[in-house]
Chains A and B, each alone.
Chain A
Amino acid sequence: MKGSCIAFRTRGGSSVFLEENHTLPLVDLQLTLRTGSVYDPKGLEGLTRITASMIRMGTKRLCATAVQEAIDRLGAQLYVLCAPSYVHFTASVVERNLKPFLSLLDELVCRPAWRPADLDFVKRQTIADIVEIRDNDQMLAVRHFRRFALAGHPYGRSVLGTIASVKAIRRKDVIRLYGEHYLARNLIIGAAGAVSEALLRELLDSSFNRLSGAKPPTEKVVAPRFATGRRVLVVDKPARSQTQILIGALGTSARDADYFPLLVGNTIFGGTFTARLMREIRSKRGWSYGASSRLAFDRQRDLWSMWAFPAAQDALACTELQLALLEKLIDQGITRNELAFAKDYLIKSHAFEIDTAAKRLGLAMETELFRLASDFHSRFVEKIRAVTRDQVNQALKKRLSKRNLAIVIVATYEDIRKQLESFSGVTSISVVPFDEI
C-alpha cells in the first residue's frame, strides 16, 4: 500500500493526520470534534447537530448564501455528520483550490456568526427533516429502535432531537455549546490526497488557531443498562406491504477486549452475503431482500442489532427464525469451518479498508477519536488471526443476550396483529403510531 499516515500537531494543539497521495488532483478533508449528541442537555436534544449545522450558515464576514456560493465556486463539498460521540465536517476539494477552501473552513469553524434568522431557518429545516422520517420505514425503525432499546440513556436519544426539543433551542444554547466544545484540543484534522506534508503544515500554521485553548470537558457517559425481557414495539404505519424488523441488545465498546472475537462472531452470523442470517432468510426462504447484523461501537457499549424486512405475512415467522438463530449462536457457538471462513474473509478483505488514501485517513482518525490502542487498525490482521473459537463462543455468551432483547417492527399493525397474538416468549408488546416521533 502506498503512503503511510503522518501525524503532527498544530500550534493550537489540534491533532493532524495526513495520508498523502497524488494519483488524482483531489484532497479529502475531515475535521472531527470530540463532542456529540451525548452532550445535548435534557430537553434540548438536537442541540449538537444544530450547532454543527450553524457552522456552515455564515461567519462574521460572510452571510449563509455567500458561504454556500464560495464552497460551490471552489469545486468543493462540505457535509456535516453528527453522532452520539463525535461531529464530523467532511469535505472534498479540487487540489488547485485547497488553500482558499481551507481558509474558508477556518473562518467557518472559528468565526461563526450565529445570526438569529439563520438559527430559525436551521431549526425549521430540522423539524421538517424529523417529520420526513415518517416517510422512510427504515429510518423510522432505526429511530424507534435506539430510543426503545436504550431508553433514558444518552445513546438512545435521537441526534436530530424531537420537534419539541428543537423548538426549545435558543441562540445562547448554541453559543454555549460551541464555547464548551469547539476547542483546539478537541479538534482532529485530517487530509488525504494531493497535498504534501510541507504544504499542509504551512496552511495549518495559520488555520484553526483562533479556537480556544481551553481544556475539553470530560465525557461522563455511563454504560447503558438494558431492560430485561424480550420487549416488542410495533410502529403502526398504514398501507405497508412489508415490515421492517430490528432486533438487538447491548453489544460492545471501543476498548472492549472481546471486540475482535465478537467481530468474528458477527461476521459468521450476519456480516456477509453468505452469513447465517442471509442464508436462512433470503437464500433458503426468500423472505427478505436483505438480512444482516451489525456490531456498532462507541466509548461505552453500543447496540448489536439484526435487520430484515419481510412481507407482512412472513413477519412473525421471520422474527421467530431470527430469534432461534440468535439462540443457536449463543448456545452452540460457531463451528471450526465457520471460524476459518470468517478469519479468511476479514483478513483478506482488509485490503478494502485501506485501498484509498481517504479510507486510510479514516482509520487513523477513528483511532485518535476513540483513543483506541495505537495498533487497533494497524495490526488488525494479526489480531483477527489470533482469535480462537473458544474466544468467539465465550464472547458471544458474555456480550450478547438472547433473553434481553428489544424488537421493533414497523408495519401496519392490523396486518400482523393476529400473528403477534401467537408470539410466544415476549414480555411486552406495545404499539405506537408512526407519526408519533
Chain B
Amino acid sequence: MSDSTATEIVRRLNRAVRSKSARLRLASRVPFGERLQVCRYILGNGLKVMLLVDHSAPVVSYHTWFRVGSRNDRPGKTGLAHLFEHLMFNETKNLPAGVFDRTLEAAGGESNAATWVDWTYYYANIPASELALIVSLEADRMANLVLRSAQVESEKQVVANERRYRVEDDVEGTVSELLYATAFKRHPYGQPTVGWMADIEGFSVKDCRNFYRTYYSPNNATLILAGDFDQQTALGLIQEHYGRQKAARIPRYRPAVEAGQRSERRLAIRRSTPSQRLLLGFRAPAFSDSDYPALVVANEILFGGRSSRLYRRLIRDNELAVDARGSVAPFCEPGLLEIWVVLRQGKTAPQALRVVDRELERLCAESVGKRELEKVINRLDLAFLQGLESASGKAERIGFYETVMGDARSLFARRQAFSAMRPEEVQRVARRYFRKKNRTVITVEPGDGELA
C-alpha cells in the first residue's frame, strides 16, 4: 500500500466521523522485511493501531498491548496487574461472565494473555472471517468491564493456584523470584509479577476497579493486527468500536531508584530437588540500550547451542551439569543477565561457578574469533526468522518492540545490529557487565529448610 492510498483511506473514514476521539491519523508506514509493511495509525483518543497485512493464510492475529505491568504494582499490592489480566476475561456491561471466551471459541478463535514487568498483552487468533467479532469483543472489554466480588474472589484463588504451580512447587520459579528480590531492593523489578501470596489474598474489588480506570484506556494501548484482512475494513471497525472511548490521564511512572550494586550478593537455600542448582544475575542494560545487542551476542557465545562455550564446558567436557542456560532480561529499564545451571547429582554449585567464572573471564580477556561470531549471528538470525513464521509471531514481535522500544521498526534494526556486531564490541560489554560486584548468586542444595 502506498502513502497516498493509506492517506486516502484515512480521509474517507474520517469523513464519516464527528467525534475527535474517533479521527484517524496515519503516523508512519514502514517495510516489514522484503515483502510486507506495517502501517501505523493513531486514533484521536490516543489508541495506536499497527496493521500488517499478510494474505498467506486466512487468519488474523489480534493483539492489544497495554503499557502497564508489574512494575506499576505498589508494595503491598503486588500481582495486581497480573490478577487484572485474569479478570479481563470476565463479565462486561454487554456480555455475561464466560461469554467472551465462549463466543470466541465458537468462532474458531483462541485467546490468552500475558503479564510481565513492563506490559500486559491480550491476543486472539481468529479466522479471517471473524474480524468484526474480535474488534467488538476487545473494544467492549477495554471500556465496559464489570468487576464484582464473586469474580474477584474466584480469580484470586485461581491466581493463588497459579503461584503454587509456577513458584512455590517449582524450584526454578522460587529461585528466580528470589534472585530479583535480592538484586532489586527498591525498584519494582524486585517484585514478582504473579505477586506475593499475602498480597494476592488481600486484593479487593475496589483495588481492581481503580486499576482498570487508571490503566485500561485507549491512550495506554496499542492494537496490532497481523494477517489476512483489508486495511480499510479493519480501520473502519476500529474507528466504530474504539472511537467513542475517551483517553484517560495515565499517572506518570516514577519508580524508586535502585542504587548501583557495589558488591556481590549471595544467598543459599535448600529445597526438595535431586541435585544442586546455581543461578546468577548480573545487572544488565535495558532492552533499548545500545549495549543490549552486544550482551545478547555475548550470552549466545556462552549458551547458544551445543557448541557454545558453557554448554561444552559444563555439560559435555566436565559433565557437571544437566542444563545450562543464559538470557538477558528484555525490559524497558535495566534488568539482569541470568545464568541458570542445573548440576548433576554429586556435583556442586561452587564447581560450576568456577567454570562459569573462567569462561566469563576469557570472554573479557580475549577477542571473539570471526568464525565464532559468524556462528552466533547465524543462530540469532534463525531465531529471528522463526519468530515470524505465523501471524501470531509477527503480531507479538510488533507489539513487543512498539511497547518496549516505542517503535516497531527497531525489530529489524535489532537484526541489523546483530549482523553488524564486531568482536571488540562484545568484549567491551562483557568487561562492563560481567563483574563480580555486579552480580547476585543463588545456590540451591537438596534438602529441607529455609535460607542458610
Contact = CB atoms under 8 A, between A and B. Distances in A.
A241 B160 CA distance: 11
Interface residue tally on A, bucketed by range = 35 or more
B389 A286 contact: no
A72 B374 CA distance: 10
B319 interface: yes
A25 B307 CA distance: 24
Contact of B165 (A1, A2, A242): A242
B306 A71 contact: yes
A393 to B, nearest CB: 21
A69 B375 CA distance: 8
Contact of A311 (B102, B125, B156, B161): B161
A341 B102 contact: yes
A289 interface: yes
A131 interface: yes
A403 interface: no
A75 interface: yes
Contact of A351 (B108, B271, B305, B448): B108
Given A135-B273, A242-B165, A283 B381 contact: no
Contact of A288 (B108, B161, B271): B161
A238 B316 CA distance: 32
Interface string B124-161: 01011010000000000000000000000111111111
Contacts of B315: 125
B107 interface: yes
Query: Which interface residue of A24, A71, A350 has the most chain B CB atoms within 10 A?
Result: A24
A329 interface: no
A176 interface: no
Given A128-B322, A355-B57, A282 B108 contact: no
Contacts of A24: 33, 385, 388-389
Contacts of A1: 57-58
Interface string B271-282: 111110000000
A399 interface: no
Contacts of A25: 385
A94 B385 contact: yes
Contacts of A71: 305-307
Interface string A422-437: 0000000000000100
A288 B165 CA distance: 9
Contacts of A68: 305-307, 312
A74 B382 CA distance: 10
B298 interface: no
A76 interface: yes
A226 interface: no
A354 B57 contact: yes
B108 A132 contact: no
A135 B274 contact: yes
Interface stretch (A215-223, A272-280, A292-300): A272-280
Contacts, number: 181
B319 A348 contact: no
Contacts of A347: 108
Contacts of A380: none
Nearest to B166: A289
Given A274-B101, A355-B390, A286 B322 contact: no
Interface residues of B, number: 71
B252 interface: no
A75 B381 contact: yes
B100 to A, nearest CB: 9
A356 B169 contact: no
Interface in B300-336: 304-308, 312, 315-316, 319, 322-323
B272 A286 contact: no
B98 interface: yes
A154 interface: no
Query: Which interface residue of A282, A285, A287, A351 has the most chain B CB atoms within 10 A?
Result: A351
Contacts of B158: 282, 286, 288-289
Interface string A91-116: 01110010000000000000000000
Closest 4 CB pairs of A and B: A348-B108, A286-B157, A75-B378, A355-B57
Query: Which interface residue of A65, A92, A286, A355 has the most chain B CB atoms within 10 A?
Result: A355
Interface string A112-147: 000000000100110011011011010000000000
Contacts of B33: 24
A187 interface: no
Query: Which interface residue of B56, B125, B130 has the most chain A CB atoms within 10 A?
Result: B56
A273 B113 CA distance: 13
16 contacts: A23-B56, A26-B382, A72-B308, A75-B378, A76-B382, A121-B316, A124-B319, A129-B322, A273-B110, A274-B102, A286-B155, A352-B59, A352-B110, A354-B57, A355-B59, A435-B274
